[in-house]
Amino acid sequence: MRVCIERRPYEIKLHCIYFIYTFFVFSLQLRKRSITKKSVDKFLGKYVSEDYYQRSDGYDWINILITKKDDNAVYISIKSRSDKKKPTCTFDGEGIIVESNTLKSIFNEKVILFDLEDGILKVFMEKEKDGDLLYFFCSGGATLEGSYKKTAEK
């Protein structure tokens, strides 16, 4: 403390500014690392449409599998049922984290968003006017847009 008192006022200000700047940069780096890792990991797993639980009754359903590519990106694989029927929906792409609960995938320069909240993954377009793109990956009038529940089933 004595060292600080004996310094000139401008020296104290410079030391304080340097200390605050260093602390701020270090805090941001730590925060970025922990958020990114946690965010990527919380998306990993299998998500299914509501009709998945009625598949034995012949309902068509969609499965989304998200696996880790690296600390900042994931692979996204979307398939519809193929056990009794020919698959009606298929999408394979990569996603990056844009917010703590949101993944972004780009297809034909259009952004598909995957928003996760309370174990429910919602798939939709960033721009509502691009919503028809989610029909492109399916046949028979189906779409990838919707809500999918995380499941522990393999």
Q: What's residue 154's pLDDT?
A: 67
Q: What is the pLDDT of residues 57-94, one digit of tens each?
A: 878 889 999 999 988 899 999 998 776 667 789 999 99
Question: How many whole angstroms separate alpha carbon 140 and alpha carbon 5?
Answer: 78
Element holding 71 (H helix, E strand): none
Read off the pTM: 0.72
CB-based contact 60:81 (threshold 8 Å): yes
- Following DSSP, what letter does each residue of 73-130 receive, concatenated? EEEEEEEE--SSS---BEEEEEEEEEETTEEEEEETTEEEEEEEETTEEEEEESSGGG
Q: Which fold has domain 43-151?
A: Lipocalin (2.40.128)
Which residues have C-beta within 8 Å of that of residue 53, sequence separation ≥ 6? none
Q: What is the pLDDT of residues 8-52, one digit of tens each?
A: 555 556 555 665 666 565 665 655 554 545 567 899 999 999 988
Question: How many whole angstroms separate alpha carbon 105 and alpha carbon 113?
Answer: 6
CB-based contact 111:122 (threshold 8 Å): no
